[in-house]
Structure 1
């Protein structure tokens, strides 16, 4: 089984280091300090379950599932099985391919998306044309 983690963040003026991959600080030659307790203290959890309004739609030969659509961002999962197209209306949209192989065509250019491919899409193109079989996530911030 393969697990892919996609971390989407909003801007914050405070950052706590919870894990650092055992990296060594080049100045002190020691592992960098972690701020685990401060990170835990900063977490705000709401009581009970939050209701996510997930929806699914078919766009040509792609199943698009909205996983999150509330501030501060929207996150969609695309499963392409043939041809489809997507639009990008936001100042930027993050695309992260996670499975298969999909050709992305725009402005006479072609990129092949395979697992791990990450792109920033911009609204200069009316459409991004897709063909192939694979999956990717799209995320964009709310205005």
Structure 2
């Protein structure tokens, strides 16, 4: 059975996107491309397999019919989603629901996510949280458009990491490219969209104020990711976030400078190559790696080796 599944990316045009994802050597379609859905089994954008036994099949199909690839992990849908986001303009100020609310109102998973900042222009910042102390104060400030007083801003630079649990008011702002690791969900409640008009519809994009009021954490309390670092020869292996902080996923940053051996610890592993060149070796089979690739190490990959000069983000499912 296949040990590694290389995936074809899915691109999404967004009002806030651009063409910066070309830096990953993608053949981007024309338009304002805001998202690369890199590893996904979600119905709104599931990737196809580019190699091996299952070439042309989607991640969603494999989850439904070849569950042994994922160690027979339970669940009615592939649990994780990896994206790369190009915020040429600011994203809407938004909030995501937790599992219970999403199941009841959207037939979706909740959306806890996190960002690794691949690049950020000078002065770039996030919206991350808010200053309201009570639900009544929060709603009043939203209705009065007191955005400068309400929204909490956080400066970011290349290499930063931000953990964003469901219920957190947030937005990527202009000038940021980020890799997003998240639950496999596409449910977003917009609070504010800068009164922008969609070029296709000629109308302002829909807001979802009542849902946002229902799910926002008030008062805001940021959750520390508790990032840790270890050396493996000349390489550096960073745990960006893990259990018990995150119940949905563990996320790692692998800076490979020479040969590093890994052993399977989780049902499967998602890997994105952000930069560099190198190789992946599994049971005598060696695959060339380069920036912009995304792949799943399936349950059949018991041991693997990365070699070369590689900058990778990896994620694995949590216990939720």
Structure 1-normalised TM-score?
0.75
* 2:189–2:212 contact (8 Å) kept in structure 1: no
CA distance 1:16–1:124, shift in 2 (3 Å): same
Partner Cα distance (1:76, 1:46) in 2: 29
Decide whether the 8 Å contact of 1:61 with 1:84 is kept in 2.
no
1:99–1:36 distance in 2 versus 1, CA, 3 Å: farther
After TM superposition, the structure 1 stretch with the greater mean CA deviation from structure 2, 112-121 or 32-41, is: 32-41
Match for residue 229 of structure 2?
A: 56
> Could you tell me which residue of structure 1 aligns to residue 268 of structure 2?
92
What corresponds to 2:279 in structure 1? 103
The alignment's C-alpha RMSD in Å is 3.0
Whose relative contact order is higher, 1 or 2, with alpha carbons under 8 Å and at least 6 apart?
A: 1
Cα distance in 2 between the residues matched to 1:45 and 1:113? 44
Contact 2:181 2:251 in 1 (8 A): no
- The 3 A distance-change label for structure 1 pair 31 and 67 is farther
Counterpart residue number, 2:217? 44
- What 5-or-longer segments of structure 2 have no aligned partner? 1-117, 120-175
- Change in Cα spacing, 1:43 to 1:98, as seen in structure 2 (3 Å) is farther
The yes-or-no answer on 1:119 pairing with 2:276 is no
Say if 1:87 and 1:123, in contact at 8 Å, map to a contact too: no
> Would the alpha carbon gap of residues 135 and 11 (structure 1) be closer, same or farther in structure 2, given more than 3 Å must change?
closer
The superposition leaves residues 69-105 of structure 1 with CA deviations (integer Å, 9 ceiling, x where unpaired) of 1211110000011111222322221100101112111
Contact 1:90 1:122 in 2 (8 A): no
Work out which of the two has the higher radius of gyration on C-alpha atoms and give 1 or 2.
2
What TM-score does the superposition give when structure 2 sets the normalisation length?
Answer: 0.37
**Residue 187 of structure 2: which of 15, 23, 32 is its match?**
15
Give the structure 2 partner of residue 27 of structure 1.
Answer: none
Q: 1:52 is paired with a residue of what secondary structure?
A: coil
Report SS of the residue matched to 1:102: strand
Are residues 95 and 43 of structure 1, via their aligned partners in 2, closer, same or farther at CA, if it must alter by over 3 Å? farther
The residue number in structure 1 matching 2:311 is: 135
Q: Offset at 1:45? A: 6.1
Higher helix fraction (1 or 2): 2
Say if 1:129 and 1:15 are closer, same or farther in 2 by CA, change over 3 A: same
Q: Return 5+ residue gaps in structure 1 as ranges.
A: 25-29
